[in-house]
Amino acid sequence: HTIRIKTDSTGVITESNESDNEYTKTITVLATPTQPNLTPCQPSGWSDKIVVSKATGTNTDSSPLYTTDTLYVDWAVLNNGTGTTAVRFYTELYVDGVLKATWYTDPPLNVNYYTGSLDYSLGTLAAGTHTIRIKTDSTGVITEGNESDNEYTKTITVTATSASLKLYSRGTTSITGTNLAARFPSGIPMSYEFTVGSSKYIITNVKSSTDGTINIPAVYTSGTTTYASNDISSRSTIKITDASGSLSSSGASIAVAAWDVNGISISESGSATPLKLYSYATTTISGTDLMARFPTSTPVLYEFTIGSSQYIVTNVTSNTAGTLTIPSVYTSGVAGGI
């Protein structure tokens, strides 16, 4: 381009030299340089730039993470520069500072597009805090608009857990309080559901970090699931027993709630003798008595409430012969035991 100035352009001035009224400057304008810029990014729908989960097919971080979990990593790198990449570049994954894997991306990676990896298996990690880091353009082959934003580090915590629980043929599995506490480090649960084969056993009012040992009865024999303490199909009554001797002579009232096979609450609409639990006594609830309380439908789950304690029993068919004994549960009006 030429830039020119011309003075006395209308010639009104009589000058001693009329030939030096102009000056021309030549300049060169170059096209704006385009450069890619590679940086870790968080795609839409992802929970972070690096996602650590314990299942494949998700872009959401899992929590909590345990030493028994196989961990999977997703990562993404965006080109947010002004030009496409022209050569192959590399991205590295580090765990606790140790290189675990390297990926390459061939050109072109266009502007506002990203590359990445899904469900890379880290395996299991030891209990404690760990750093997960990605470093893109790790060999420095791309000239970028910003060379300082090629890395991202995520910190995760892995919690120790106990071995898997198993119930053996004709055996009883004891679960200690500390064992349960290790499985649920973020809080103390008050209700558990144990699934053995096709049987589910719900236990409430458990403080596993302080109350010692929970014994699940033997329910699995020769590969065939059978029901144990919450099955009354072969006997005649449900028994609720207090062994502590702490109840008053007037007894503690027992409220009964029930749900059908679809999980819908069944109203206690029939007439039956009020249930009470007495000191050193056993309250016997017959199948016909339960039927009288719930004449409109057959419950499959009951909840017995004694004072402030609630006890949920499943897999009960009360309209047939059957028996169930709930262990000692009531002490001075405070829930305790199982």
The per-residue pLDDT for 271 is 66
Tokens of 329: 């549960």
The per-residue pLDDT for 2 is 97
Tens-place pLDDT, residues 104-130? 999 999 999 999 999 999 999 988 999
pLDDT at residue 246 greater than cutoff 60: no
Query: In angstroms, rounded to a whole number, what is the distance separating the alpha carbons of residues 43 and 114?
Result: 8
Query: In angstroms, rounded to a whole number, what is the distance separating the alpha carbons of residues 272 and 31?
Result: 93
Tens-place pLDDT, residues 305-334? 666 555 555 444 433 333 333 433 333 333
Closest CA to 21 of 34, 36, 5, 37: 5
- Report residue 178: phi and psi, to 5°: -65, -30
Tokens of 317: 């068919």
Query: In angstroms, rounded to a whole number, what is the distance separating the alpha carbons of residues 261 and 257?
Result: 14
Angle (CA) 148-151-156 rounded to 5° is: 145
- DSSP codes, 263-293: S-EE---S--PPEEE-TT-EEEEEHHHHHHH
Closest CA to 160 of 66, 266, 88: 66
Strands 38-40 and 173-176: unpaired
Contacts with 211 (C-beta within 8 Å, 6 or more apart), sequence order: 177, 336, 337
Tens-place pLDDT, residues 40-98? 999 999 999 999 999 999 999 999 888 888 999 999 999 999 999 999 999 999 999 99
The per-residue pLDDT for 129 is 95
CB count, 10 Å around CB of 133?
A: 21
Contacts with 258 (C-beta within 8 Å, 6 or more apart), sequence order: 265, 266, 268, 290, 293, 294, 299, 301, 302, 303
Q: What percent of the chain has pLDDT over 90?
A: 42
Tens-place pLDDT, residues 259-306? 665 556 777 777 666 777 665 455 666 666 666 777 777 665 666 666
Choose the weakest-confidence range: 11-15, 28-32, 115-119.
Answer: 28-32
**pTM score:** 0.48
Contact 225, 196 (CB under 8 A): yes
Contact 300, 261 (CB under 8 A): yes
Residue with tokens 């004072």: 307
